[in-house]
Amino acid sequence: MSTESTIRGEDWYGRDLDGVEYTDVEFVDVDMTELSSSGATFTGCTFRSVRFNVSEHTDSAFVNCTFHGCNFFDSTFRRCKLTGSTFDACEFALLKVEGGNWAFVDLGRADLGGAGFRGVRLREADLSRVRAVEARFDGCDLSAATLTGADFSAASLVGSDLTGVDPAEVSFRGATIDERQAVVFAEALGMHVVPTPER
Pairing outcome for strands 6-8 and 26-28: parallel
> CB neighbours (10 Å) of residue 57?
26
The answer to whether 44 and 24 have CB atoms below 8 angstroms apart is: yes
Q: What is the pLDDT of residue 195?
A: 87
Distance CA 149, CA 90 (A): 19
Distance CA 118, CA 96 (A): 8
Domains in the chain: ranges and CATH:
1-91 (2.160.20.80), 109-190 (2.160.20.80)
Q: What is the pLDDT of residue 1?
A: 56
Q: What is the pLDDT of residue 2?
A: 54
Distance CA 152, CA 175 (A): 7
- One pLDDT digit (tens) per residue for the chain, 199 residues: 555 699 999 999 999 999 999 999 999 999 999 999 999 999 999 999 999 999 999 999 999 999 999 999 999 999 999 999 999 999 999 999 999 999 999 999 999 999 999 999 999 999 999 999 999 999 999 999 999 999 999 999 999 999 989 999 999 999 999 999 999 999 888 998 898 888 7
The answer to whether 32 and 12 have CB atoms below 8 angstroms apart is: yes
